[in-house]
Amino acid sequence: MKKLLLMSILTALAAPFAAQAESVLVAPALANAQAAARLDFRITIPRVLFLQVGTGTSFTSNASVDLIDFTVPAATVGNGTAVAATAVSGNLTNGAVTVRVMGNGASTISLNSSTTGPMTNGAGSTVGWNRIAVVAAPLTAGTTPGFNNTGITHPTFAASNTGNGTATTLNATNGVVREEGRWTFSYLNQDVLAAGTYGGVDTNAGRVTYTATMP
């Protein structure tokens, strides 16, 4: 008996802390009587920032870094005729890459480029980043539903060849930035340079780092 009484007391004490849905009793329930009960809903959306330049998987991290590779024909060295990248350069081939930015935490997102110096051949000769041309355009295939596919202006490389360039600002619509496009790179071929390979796979200052910043 004492044990049963103790259990009843504990149950009564715990009742205020129990999760309960609202309930309403209408009695007597006359004609057209109504009983109303309520629910509250909450959805939490996290801040998300996504950047893809070249090979990538939408909304997933991918460590692949594409190589944009130029081979200047011997007969046209330094003649001012631009040289296209090799066929296997970039995820879209021929020096073209996918560019995609998505963020939902600010009214704008800043996209910038950063370089560590002019490309070198390891023997003292250099090529400045102003010798790399970039054409921005919409994607012709592989577009993402809901994204604005009008092309993203490429952030100009730093005039000094070192550090951040001139950022491109992407504006949000209804609090969300969803922009995509393609960049196609070419080598302007305006200089007669010493023979050698300038830049490379994370060597001889040949790597550009792109950064999307969401305040």
Contact predicate 67/89, CB 8 Å: yes
Q: Is the pLDDT of residue 80 over 80?
A: yes
> What is the mean predicted confidence (pLDDT) over 182-203?
98
Q: In this structure, is residue 20 part of a structural domain?
A: no
Q: In this structure, is residue 6 part of a structural domain?
A: no
Weakest mean pLDDT among 10-19, 42-51, 52-61: 10-19
Residues in the chain: 215
Q: In this structure, is residue 5 part of a structural domain?
A: no
Domain count, the chain: 1
Q: Is the pLDDT of residue 59 over 90?
A: no
Q: In this structure, is residue 14 part of a structural domain?
A: no
> What is the mean predicted confidence (pLDDT) over 198-210?
99
Taking all residues of the chain, what is their mean pLDDT, rounded to a whole number? 92
Q: Is the pLDDT of residue 6 over 90?
A: no
Q: What is the pLDDT of residues 102-118, one digit of tens each?
A: 999 999 999 999 999 99
pTM of the model: 0.85
Q: In this structure, is residue 118 part of a structural domain?
A: yes
Q: In this structure, is residue 1 part of a structural domain?
A: no
Number of CB atoms found within 10 A of residue 86's CB: 15
> What is the mean predicted confidence (pLDDT) over 27-45?
92
- CA 188, 149, 146: angle at the middle one, nearest 5? 155
Confidence bin at 98 (pLDDT 50/70/90): very high
> Which distant-in-sequence residues (6+ apart) come within 8 Å of 165 by Cβ?
112, 113, 114, 115, 155, 156, 157, 158
Q: Which domain holds residue 154?
A: 49-213
3-state secondary structure the chain: CHHHHHHHHHHHHHHHHCCCCCCCCCCCCCCCCCCCCCCCCCCCCCCCEEEEECCCECCECCCCCCCCCCCCCHHHCCCCCCEECCCCCCCCCCCEEEEEEEECCCCEEEEEEEEECCEECCCCCEECHHHEEEEEECCCCCCCCCCECCCCCCCECCCCCEEECECEEEECECCEEEEEEEEEEEECCCCCCCCCCCCCCCCCCCCCEEEEECC
> What is the mean predicted confidence (pLDDT) over 64-93?
98
Find the CATH number of the domain harbouring 170: 2.60.40
> What is the mean predicted confidence (pLDDT) over 33-43?
95
